[in-house]
Structure 1
C-alpha cells in the first residue's frame, strides 16, 4: 500500500484564491458545526425566504402542479416558449426596447445567467465596472471568466448611490460593461432616474454593455418606485436580469431570466454567444418555468408585504428603530430589497474588524451575520443582515448585537493598555 505523497495533491485553479463568497463561506461552515453540537442559531446571512417560513404564492405552485406531466423533456436552451413570451410581454409593457421572446434567456436562477453573460462577453484581462459594495457573485464571475472587476464606489455618505463622474473616470480601453444592482444588495439603495440616465449616457459614449441586476425590482418601501434601466438605454445593448427567487419567494425553484434589449444588430454576436453557452448546459430547470406567466401577469403578492403592517415592512421598521436606539450603530434605511447594512460607530468601532465581530456574534450570541468586507468594500465597519425574519426575532438579534458592541465600547483602548 503506497503512502500519500503531498506532491500528488490535486491542484486547483489559482484564480479561485481571488474569489470570496462569505455569505456561504467560512462562517456558514462554522455555523453548521455549532448546529451539529446542538446549538440553535439565528441565521441572517442569506436572503432565502423559504428558510424563514415564506412560501411561493399558491397560484404559482398550481401553475407547476397542473403541468407537471409536461416537464420531463429538455426544452429549448433559451427556455420554454410560453415562459419567454410572458417575460417579453412584461418587459414590453414597461418600455423595454425590442423586447421579444427570441431575446429572452431563462436560466437556473440569475446566478447562472450572470456567469453565462460574462463568459460570453469577456476576453482575458478585460474589465467590468462593478459597484462597491457589490453582490459578490458579480466579482467572482468576472474573475473566473478571466476578467478584472474594477470597483466604483457607492458611498454611505451619498446614500450608497453610485457617482456617475467616478464611474466615467474608471473607464479604460479594456472596459466592456457596467454592472448595476438596483434595488441594491447589500445596501437596499434604490437608484433614481437621473443617476441611471447619466450612467446610461456613459455607456453610450464608450459603447459599453449594461448588465442590470433587477432581481428585487418590486421589493420597495415607503413609496419608493422602481426605474428599470432598459427603457432609458434605448438602442444601447442592455441585459436585464430578473427571477422568481425574491419577489416571488421561490429560491429553490432556480428560475431566473435575462432580457437582451437595444439594437439587435449591435448585440447579435453576443446573443449568439449566450445561446451557444445555454445550449452547452442543455436547458434550465423546466418545472419552475411554468410559473413564470402567473408570476409576471398574475396577482401581486409582494406589495402587501412591503406596506405598513406587512411582514417585510415591519421587520425593516424594527431594524431602523434598533439602529436609531443604539449608540453603536448607524444605518442608511434600505429603500428596497431584503437587507440592512449597518455601520458600527463610536467607541465600539475602535479597532473594529467586521469578520472578527461576525465570528464573535456566532460563537457567543448564536447569530450568523455577514461581514461588510464580503461585499468588496475597503472598510471594515459594516455588516449585513436580512429582513426576512419576523420583527421580534430581528429585535432580539439587535439586542444581542448591542450587548457585544457595548462590551467592546467599554473595554479599555489598546493604546491605554499599552
Structure 2
C-alpha cells in the first residue's frame, strides 16, 4: 500500500484466473478470483482515485464498486488487449463498448437459480426469460444492465420517427455528441408488444447502430426492422407469427436507459387460447419469486420431458461421465486411474484453482474424451473397457486383445 501514496491514480488489474472459467466446468460463484476483491478494497481504502481494470469472460460481482472511481471492463482482450486498455485509460481513445450481457447483483437474482439439470437432461425452463429479458420483465435491480457503457463524452437523442414500407419499418432518430471530445455511441432499438396474448419479455433488442460523432456533431440514424422483429414463435404451428395490435418502439443507450418511444400498429394473426394461458400461468406473470414448474414447462414444450434417471451398470455409454460410473468396479478403477494422472500433473498445486478445476474436469469427463488425449487408450480400447464397466468382462477382454 505504500506505493499508492505517491500516485495520482492507482490502476488495479483484477479478474478471473485462467482455470476459473474454462470449457467443461461451470463457475459456482460470481466472485472474482480469491484475493482480488480484498486487494481492491485495501487499495481503495488507501487512495481516493482508484480505477479497476477487469479481465474476465463473464459477469462478476463488485462489492467494492462504491469505493472506486472507475471500472474498465476489459473482458478477454488477447495479446493486443493491453495496448487498447492503455489507450482507453489515458484518453487516447474514448470508450464506446456496451455490455452484451447483464451484470446481476447476485447469483440468486438470475432466472437459472433453481437449476433443473442432470444427470441426463438439462431443462431450460426459463424459456425466453434469459438475461435482460428476465431482469427487465421481473423488475429486478441489476449491477449493470444489458447494453450499458460509459464514455468520456455525452450523447443526446431526439426526433424519433417511424416509416412503414411494405413489411419493413424504418426507425429513424438523431444522436448528438453534446460533450467536449469525439466519441462513438451504440444506439439500441427495442420492441415491446403492448397487446400480446402470448407471453413475451418486457422488451427485446431488435436492432442497433454505432455512430461516430465529433464534439457538437449530430447525425440521423436509421435502423430497419423486418417482420421477425415483431413476431413470436408459435410452438403449435412451428412458425413465426405476428400478432395484430400495438407495438412500442424504444430507442436507448441500454436496455434500462430508454431515451425515445413511439407507438406502431400492425396487422397480423395469432391467438392463444385461455386453456394455454392457464397451463402457462408462470410465464405470463414473471416476478423475482416466479418458479417455472415442470408441468408448465412440459405444456410449453408440447411433450413430456425425457426421463431424467441416473444410468446404472449396463446402461453406461461413451458419453457417460466417469463420476457416474462408480457403481461398477471397472468404473471405479477408471476414476482412480484418471485421478492419479491428474495428481501427477498438478503436484504441488492441489489446492489452487488450477488443481481443483482439473480434478473436477476429470470427474465430469465422458469416456470418449480420454481418446482425444492421444495416449495409449484409443477409441477401440475404450469401447472394450466400456464393455467391462457395463459388466461384460469377458467380452471386453476379448475386444482388448483384438479377438472376435
User: 1 or 2 for the larger relative contact order (CA 8 Å, sep ≥6)?
Assistant: 1
- TM-score normalised by the shorter chain: which range applies? under 0.3
TM-score, normalisation: structure 2: 0.25
TM-score, normalisation: structure 1: 0.24
Larger Rg: 2
Higher helix share: 1
Higher strand share: 2
